[in-house]
Amino acid sequence: MFEKSLYDLIRGLRSHKGNESEYIQGILKECRTEVRSQDMDVKATALLKLIYLEMFGHEMSWASFHVLEVMSSNKHLQKRVGYLGAAQTFRSDTEVLMLATNLLKKDLLSASIPTMSLPLITLPHVITSSLALSLLTDILPRLSHSQPVVRKKTVVTLYRLALVYPETLRVAWPKIKERLMDADENSSVTAAVVNVVCELGWRRPQDFLPLAPRLFELLIEEGNNWMLIKIIKLFATLTPLEPRLVKKLVRPLTNLIQTTEAMSLLYECINGIVQGGIFSATENAGEGDELAALCLGKLRGMIVVENDPNLKYVALLAFNKIVVSYPALVSAQQDVIMKCLDDPDISIRMQALELVSGMVSTDNIAPIVKRLMKQLRSSPINANELEDDGLDSTPIEPMADSDGENPAEILIEDQRTSEMPPIPNDYRREVIARILDMCGQDKYSNIPDFEWYLEILVELVRLLPPQIPSEADLSNSAVESVPGTSLAERVGFQLRDIAVRVKDLRPEACRAAESLILISNRSALYPPVGSGADPVLGFVSWMVGEYSEYLVSPQETLNALIHDSSAALSPQILCSYLQAIPKVFLRIAAKASDGWSLSERTAISLLLARVIEFEETLSTHPNLDVQERAVEYLELFRLVSEALSSLQSEDRAPLLLTSVIPELFTGLELNPVAAGAQKKILPPEELDLANSINPRLSSLLQLSRTEEDAEFDDEAFQAFYSEREAAPPVKAQNLKVSVPQVAEQLSYQAAEDPEISARRKAEKRERNRDDPFYIAQGNDESGRSSPIDILRGSNGKDLDLDAIPIVDLRLDETDIRAPGGQAAPSKQKRPKVKRRVEIAADENFDSEIPSSGNDSAPRSYEAGNAFPSGKPHRPRKNLLQVDSSGLHQLSLIDDANADRFDLQRREEEEAEMAAALKEVERMRLEMQRAAERVETAEGVDAEGTVVKRKKKRKPKGQTEDGQGGAAAEQPPEETAVAKKRKKKKKRSEVEAMRADS
């Protein structure tokens, strides 16, 4: 199977429908063979097929060198395939890219425009800093080319070079600016320059203020919508720097909004007005309201008239930007926005949800919350929804079409229906979070009726989705001082916060908490699946304990708190339960003490026995906080049990139960406290935390250790508890199997003193006297805390069965019952009278005490805000994944100061370079001198004087063996004397010349 062309490959894919993967593997194997061919046509065809398969995810980086070979072809069609492969596969770390530098230079200087365009198109995809430095001098002259298409591509390529090599912009900016200022320039080149200026404008907008007159001319005269969009975006970044531009831009932008039919240009005009601050700048002049009304009317038309989901989304996006400045005008479009809440597209519903959160007020909060609650009720909770955000990394397989040879693109029509799709759990969480944000805003200032909001909070408990770990990031604006992060904790917090702040609503809030904590209401008021609403129990248990005087049925509330299922709750909830149990119990006891009788005493004793049993269960809890609270309250309840059992008078309750223990939980009222109030408390001047409270602490600790060691000095005592008696050795021949007698004691306690044993048994009986689960031996009394013993102790030896209270337990009923055991009456619509309530403010200290900031607002290191860190700022990357942070420090302003600074910088660099060269030269000379010292070390005498020996010259007639010639016959002494005479003669001549001069 040998494919000749790309078209044959596509036909083969169509003919192998359902088996494309196996067919592609065979094609790749053939392409590996064809791409190594010496025939350039075969190589280019194989490369074209590889490029086609690479777009479906099949790797072809192995063919990088073959791409470079096709790029060097002299035929334009083959060269174009090679450049396409380079743009598709080359990256900054491709090894063969360094070999393409000369080829790119050659093609850039080509006289053929198609050939010259190929590197200009490819360079933005493969450019590196070193390659940009090498090709900059070849690309810049192309800005003055006679053909507009070359100038346009050169401008775009230079911008891409500037991202990786910022100095490119400094060199090329004068020519780019010249192309923009030229009124006779081709419109395509001007559009390319405007596009580049717009991309650079958000980094350093002050450099482009001198271009404002030319850009304003283009805004008025140009009819290209794409260029107008870019100019408007650029002006949106320039208007904050030059406020005078606002008056100039109001009229042209208004005309564009009124006349344009392009929805993209209409949206960008409105977005530019919002981003540029034109609304706020024209607010005092009276033009702001007219302009805002015009923009909102156009946006309403985009939603209603067009009925396009994309236009709906961008219109809601613009609404969200305008609602910050004009919430009242946006609220006038409430009917259209509320319809978007029911749109089948989830992204449109999210934008509409964000919009209604921004335009909420006291007048419209009720219908908005009602609409959102209707959405939550209409869709059941999806418990099996997978929270999977992973991406499928498998390559895309090209699927064959139904037709044979002529591929055609089939446009699939929009098949969206108006039916409400199932609500995802993410959207459900966002809706609930927005409801809590809107209603809790500014300390519940938008709530018209708190009784209505309490009903909403109770209903939200049932509508909560299953809890996930990352629920803290789902809402951008949380209520102040919310301790938890989950939605259930936020619902419970607002229930408790309303009970604390609004004193007039405490009875209603306490009844709501009571209904949520009752076991009989769990199936009706809590989600049917998951445990996402369990954190609410911690808040409502605190409410029923703190405000137990408002409970309708304290008995049922206490039964719910000490139910067997409560032991399986989380430790945080159990701590709140343990704190609420004694408060509710004391409320029941206080009510019983008013008409104290034998039956009341018996009922309190039975209830106390159940409480003690529950506390004993939690006294061995793995969590230390729960265990500590349970042990403390267990001892407290045991004291109450002893007081009841030892009560002599039947007409009055024990004083411990009626006055002593209740004083532990009564006192000052708990009020909301400002978040920064604690920071305003200055430490006392006399407080010195550096010094120890007790200077003799170390000596006391040492003394206590000495006393502990002294207790074990008695050797007999130490042996009694620590050592075992050694067993006597048993011989094998005398081994006998015998049953040991009962009197024999084999343990280490055999030598125990009878007095010690008797004292231990007495202590054990006293310790187990109140234990209802302890069964005594012989005549010992068992625990007195069991229900039977309590009844016997109260009624004498004879058990009075008539005194046992009868409780009607209907465990088979699952309907919601009101506190007190009566069935909840059916809801009847009746007009509600609005109550005027007072919301308590946070307690704070006087403003005379210095504070570091606003106490009501969360600080930068509190929950909901980023903690300040000293980490360096991460450089921003654009969509091309290129670090463009270097452009922020590159100034394009051509003035005297810039030239002076540039000249000064160059002088500093040259001075630094000269100093470096001087240092290198110095090091070179030192190394040379050191080498000379090593070479002449052999000629140093004993005194350290260097003696330079002269080489003997061979006479002209001397042979290799040293004989021959007249000079050779002279002795060496005579030769040395002749040379000295010549030196003396020369020296005398030099002195004579000096004397004449």
Please tell me the distance from the alpha carbon of residue 51 to that of residue 28, in angstroms, as a whole number: 11
Model confidence at 473: pLDDT above 60: no
Of residues 927, 837, 749, 107, the one with CA closest to residue 499? 837
Please tell me the distance from the alpha carbon of residue 478 to that of residue 675, in angstroms, as a whole number: 15
Mean pLDDT, residues 56-60: 88
Share of the chain above pLDDT 70, in %: 68
Please tell me the distance from the alpha carbon of residue 41 to that of residue 57, in angstroms, as a whole number: 25
Tokens of 616: 């004993």
Domains, the chain, in order of start with CATH, read 425-466+484-665 (1.25.10)
CA torsion, ordered 356, 360, 365, 370, to nearest 10 deg: 10
Model confidence at 763: pLDDT above 90: no
Could you tell me the pLDDT band of residue 883, with boundaries at 50, 70 and 90?
Answer: low
Distances (CA, A) of 298 to 292, 306, 312: 10, 11, 12
Task: Provide the pLDDT for residue 847.
Answer: 45
Distances (CA, A) of 442 to 445, 446, 948: 6, 8, 100
* Consecutive H or E run containing 176: helix 167-181
Distances (CA, A) of 339 to 353, 356, 640: 11, 11, 62
Task: Provide the pLDDT for residue 875.
Answer: 42
Mean pLDDT, residues 686-706: 78
Model confidence at 611: pLDDT above 70: yes
Asked if residues 874 and 193 have their Cβ atoms less than 8 Å apart, the reply is: no
Mean pLDDT, residues 809-828: 46
Model confidence at 476: pLDDT above 50: no
Q: Tell me the three state secondary structure of residue 724.
A: coil
Residue 457, CA atoms < 13 Å, CB-side half-sphere: 35
Asked if residues 359 and 325 have their Cβ atoms less than 8 Å apart, the reply is: no
Of residues 635, 640, 641, the one with CA closest to residue 659? 640
Of residues 254, 242, 243, 250, the one with CA closest to residue 211? 242
Q: Structure pTM?
A: 0.63
Model confidence at 796: pLDDT above 60: no
Task: Provide the pLDDT for residue 835.
Answer: 65
pLDDT digits (tens, 9 = 90+) for 951-974: 555 555 544 444 444 444 444 444
Asked if residues 604 and 661 have their Cβ atoms less than 8 Å apart, the reply is: no
User: Is residue 822 packed enough to be buried (19+ CB in 10 Å), middle (13-18) or exposed (0-12)?
Assistant: exposed
Tokens of 125: 């995809």
Task: Provide the pLDDT for residue 679.
Answer: 81
285 Cβ contact list (under 8 Å, min separation 6): none
Mean pLDDT, residues 627-639: 92
Least reliable range by pLDDT among 179-183, 438-442, 908-912, 950-954: 950-954
Could you tell me the pLDDT band of residue 194, with boundaries at 50, 70 and 90?
Answer: very high
Asked if residues 208 and 233 have their Cβ atoms less than 8 Å apart, the reply is: no
Residue 817 pairs in a beta bridge with 823
The angle at the Cα of 612, spanning 607 to 618, to the nearest 5 degrees, equals 130
Fill in the DSSP letter of residue 859: P
Task: Provide the pLDDT for residue 983.
Answer: 52
Q: Where are the alpha helices (DSSP H) in 569-679?
A: 571-594, 598-618, 624-645, 655
Fill in the DSSP letter of residue 185: S
Residues in the chain: 997
Distances (CA, A) of 875 to 446, 872, 881, 882: 42, 9, 11, 10
Tokens of 423: 């609500």
* Residue 491 vs residue 665, higher pLDDT: 491
443's torsion region: left (phi>0), alpha (psi -120 to 50) or beta? Answer: left
Please tell me the distance from the alpha carbon of residue 66 to that of residue 88, in angstroms, as a whole number: 13
Of residues 277, 302, 280, 300, the one with CA closest to residue 289? 280
Could you tell me the pLDDT band of residue 592, with boundaries at 50, 70 and 90?
Answer: confident
